[in-house]
Amino acid sequence: MTHQPRPISETGIGASVRRTEDARFVRGKGRYTDDINLAGQTYVVFLRSPHAHATIKSIDLANARRAPGVVAIYTSVDLAKLGGLPCGWLITNRDGSPMREPKHPVLAEGKVRHVGDPVAAIIADTIAHARDAAELIDVDYDPLPAVMDMTSAAASGVALHEAAPDNTCYDWDIGDKAVVDAAFAKAAHLTTLKLSNNRLAPNAIEPRAAIGDYNSATGEHTLYTTSQNPHVIRLLMGAFVLQVPEHKIRVVAPDVGGGFGSKIYHYAEEALVTWAAAQLGRPVKWTSDRSEAFISDAQGRDHKTTVELALDKDGKFLGLRVETFANMGAYLSTFASVIPTYLHATLLAGQYTTPVIYCRIKAMFTSTVPVDAYRGAGRPEATYLLERVVDLAARETGRDPAALRRQNFIQPHQFPYQTPVALTYDTGNYQATMDAALAAADYVGFPARKAEAKTRGKLRGIGIAAYIEACGIAPSNIAGALGARAGLYEAATVRVNPTGSISVFTGSHSHGQGHETTFAQVVSEKLGVPFESVDIVHGDTARIPFGMGTYGSRSLAVGGSAIVKAIDKIVAKGKKIAAHMLEAAEADMVFEDGAFKVTGTDRQKTFGEVAFQAYVPHNFPLETLEPGLEENAFYDPKNFTFPAGTYVCEVEIDPDTGVVEIKAFNACDDFGNIINPMIVEGQVHGGLAQGIGQALLEHCIYDDNGQLVTGSYMDYAMPRASDLPSFAVSTTSTPCTHNPLGVKGCGEAGAIGSPPAVINAVVNALSDYGVSHIDMPATPQAIWRVIHSKA
């Protein structure tokens, strides 16, 4: 590891501090949403559509209403005053018109548009009673043809939404097509590839859950929910769906059992329980089961792409052309629209100096569960198509895939680097991560290993992927100019308590990332206070001033920066107080090693003394010095951060069975500065597992009628321990140039870089069979078929 020369202390920046939160988790003392039970609570079960597309002719509730324990049953007619679930990002079509945004009702209005679309909410005194009653509801559906293939959806003649007659949400592009076409006309070689990015189910092991509560005396609503961003839920639900002012809504996201994007969005169930609790004067609790999660949690990816790369005779990239269909599912989820556009097309330069790029995206509605961000969100799709086409180009032109990449890398002296697709990379060293990854993987020794595998009848392959991602979303001004309907800063409050302990209130949300540890390390180091005396508070709108939450690997780069900004204000205030205590000039005060000192003297006050004085201000000059030591900060990033790295995967395939075994996986990432290497490595491991899962195992498959065939853990292949290898991970560092910690974000990298590394390795292993591409997931069956069709 070549990151910064630390650690300086056992608990400071750079130390692999063991996690604070684990003390409760390993004892089973976490407090997840479903662990919460409120007095007098009722339970809601949702009756969901069994059809992918149908008109609802009638709903007969009479029998269900008489069933034991039933408290209430609601359908869309009861929710007439509520708004639809909003979309947070407006995309503008190529012709300048806005994208189509059909209403996404809380409960289906007159029509169902995917299997799992909620039709009725049944509330009873027990879950069992609610389930029993749901079975007594008679819905008369008139089935309509499902729209399943996004590439032909526009011409299908079936409209899912009146507001989108050709099932098109938007038709958007970036880049100057004429200029790119001209570059292609001069190319010595053209590589073309058609590929699909398979649809995935995020599958956090904790299913979603929500509990609504209402205090009729104060008019306050409380929602406990499995969310990555409670303030965003409060805003979207309050302002758009329930039309309740924010100060009357409290949203609590306690311990959350993984998110990976799927818990960013505002979901119908959250609005329903919050609203129903107020109608009934009793708490309403909903807990998803896994089968329900498969048809109600937003899914990820699902692109179909044609990519073309133009090269000159020396292998230099001249231009890139991409045409992608992106599946939105049946409705627009909260951030669905931005994934294929500004989180995908803008990443198509990758690590390369490709001078001109054109990308067109057609976003389509289909009769499937909505699609939104899933770990990586757009960047895995971009990295996959790019690293696949580069690999294929190397093969077609007889070049070493590592050498071709190197030849086209942006060089260290070229930063800041303006890409042709809007982003400006601040810093990086792509040679360094590639060198480290190839050395760790013993790239030069591969031919010998391949030959040895052959003696055992195995096909050995090696694959490289060099990814870049844009994290720390995002400067609000840029996001706003591109259609974001929100700012993307983060907020923090640092409260120094009278006895010197510190409570930090952060708008970031931890659902596995370990913020209670990492953030405390930053505070401990910056203020020179013991790690143990810092408490990190998150996940409750009643305690935290504001927050945009955790996604896009933004917590440390944006949320951590907000904390640093608040700490700077604490130090400034502390200097004022210490100057007063020491009867010195404020300008002469310095803060170092946990004490406020008068420069050039041995006079000082410790941090604890200053904290205490702040709350016992017996002789403060109150006109110029306020009591208390607590500061708020909002940090809006100046740019994205750009983590990058090279992954090398080595596989062996058994030609008789098509089974792929990953023999080695080497990852080298540049995350800038690192606060807690242990946690960072863990994040990479988790991302790699999800990326390898995408490449080899996972796939949401719908049949032609829109039934999800892979709707449980029996059918959807989740990566298990025996499917995965141990990983070799390392880092290099070019610190981010524009945030105070020099950090970039590490949460998604593994899931972004690994799918093309795996598929490149699989295709490499199959090269003797003349295979140039295989779609994900490369299951044994798919590989066996390829081998036997070519043999």
Partner 1 sequence: MPQVTLTVNEKPIAAEVEGRTLLVQLLRDTLGLTGTHVGCDTSQCGACTVHVNGRSVKSCCMLAVQAEGARVTTIEGVSDGQTLHPMQAAFRECHGLQCGFCTPGMIMSAIDMVKHHPDPDEQTVRKWLDGNLCRCTGYHNIVKAIRAGAAAMKAKTRENVA
- Contact positions vs partner 1 (CB under 8 A): 18-19, 21-32, 34-35, 37, 128, 203-207, 255-258, 260, 289-291, 511-514, 678-679, 681-683, 685-690, 712-714, 718-722, 724, 726-727, 750
Q: If you write DSSP's letter for every residue of 163-203 in order, what string do you get?
A: TBTTSEEEEEEES-HHHHHHHHHT-SEEEEEEEEE--B---
In angstroms, what is the minimal distance from the CB of 335 to partner 1? 20
Which structure tokens are listed for 684? 């990479």
> What secondary structure, in 3-state letters, does 422-454 show?
CCEECCCCHHHHHHHHHHHCCHHHHHHHHHHHH
Query: Taking CB within 5 to 8 Å according to partner kind, which of ligand FES, partner 1, none is near residue 721?
Result: partner 1
Residue nearest to ligand FES (CB): 205
In angstroms, what is the minimal distance from the CB of 283 to partner 1? 15
Length of the chain: 791
Query: Taking CB within 5 to 8 Å according to partner kind, which of partner 1, ligand FES, none is near residue 720?
Result: partner 1
The distance from CA 646 to its chain's CA centroid, rounded to whole angstroms, is 20
Amino acid code (one letter) for 104: H
Say if residues 310 and 183 touch (Cβ distance below 8 Å).
Answer: yes
Q: Kindly tell me which of 299 and 427 has the beta carbon lying closer to partner 1.
A: 299
Say if residues 276 and 289 touch (Cβ distance below 8 Å).
Answer: no
Query: Taking CB within 5 to 8 Å according to partner kind, which of partner 1, ligand FES, none is near residue 28?
Result: partner 1
Reduced DSSP (H G I as helix, E B as strand, rest coil) percent helix, strand, coil of the chain, to 5? 30, 25, 45
In angstroms, what is the minimal distance from the CB of 185 to ligand FES? 51
**Residue among 170, 155, 204, 239 at smallest CA distance from 32:** 204
Q: Kindly tell me which of 201 and 664 has the beta carbon lying closer to ligand FES.
A: 201
- Number of residues interacting with ligand FES: please give it, by CB under 6 A: 4
How far, in Å, CA of 742 to CA of 759, rounded?
33
- The binder of ligand FES chosen from 39, 80, 205, 444 (CB under 6 A): 205
In angstroms, what is the minimal distance from the CB of 204 to ligand FES? 7
Exposure string of 326-344, with b = 16+ CB inside 10 Å and e = fewer, is: bbbbbbbbbbbbbbbbbbb
**Residue entry with tokens 């070689």:** 189
C-alpha torsion 747→751→756→758, nearest 10: 120
Say if residues 257 and 32 touch (Cβ distance below 8 Å).
Answer: yes
The SS3 assignment for 54 reads: strand
Q: Kindly tell me which of 201 and 761 has the beta carbon lying closer to partner 1.
A: 201
How far, in Å, CA of 346 to CA of 294, rounded?
30
- The binder of ligand FES chosen from 50, 69, 258, 617 (CB under 6 A): 258
In angstroms, what is the minimal distance from the CB of 257 to partner 1? 3
Residue 785: DSSP 8-state: H
Q: Kindly tell me which of 215 and 707 has the beta carbon lying closer to partner 1.
A: 707
In angstroms, what is the minimal distance from the CB of 628 to partner 1? 35
- The binder of ligand FES chosen from 512, 560, 645, 719 (CB under 6 A): 512
How far, in Å, CA of 19 to CA of 507, rounded?
20
Q: Kindly tell me which of 474 and 684 has the beta carbon lying closer to ligand FES.
A: 684
Q: Kindly tell me which of 12 and 512 has the beta carbon lying closer to ligand FES.
A: 512
In angstroms, what is the minimal distance from the CB of 600 to ligand FES? 52
Query: Taking CB within 5 to 8 Å according to partner kind, which of ligand FES, partner 1, none is near residue 72?
Result: none
In angstroms, what is the minimal distance from the CB of 676 to partner 1? 9
In angstroms, what is the minimal distance from the CB of 686 to ligand FES? 8
Q: Kindly tell me which of 297 and 391 has the beta carbon lying closer to ligand FES.
A: 297
**Residue among 504, 509, 609, 514 at smallest CA distance from 552:** 509
Q: Kindly tell me which of 24 and 788 has the beta carbon lying closer to ligand FES.
A: 24
Q: Kindly tell me which of 17 and 578 has the beta carbon lying closer to ligand FES.
A: 17
Query: Taking CB within 5 to 8 Å according to partner kind, which of ligand FES, partner 1, none is near residue 25?
Result: partner 1
Q: Kindly tell me which of 202 and 559 has the beta carbon lying closer to ligand FES.
A: 202
How far, in Å, CA of 100 to CA of 164, rounded?
6
In angstroms, what is the minimal distance from the CB of 511 to ligand FES? 8
Residues forming the site for ligand FES (CB under 6 A): 205, 257-258, 512
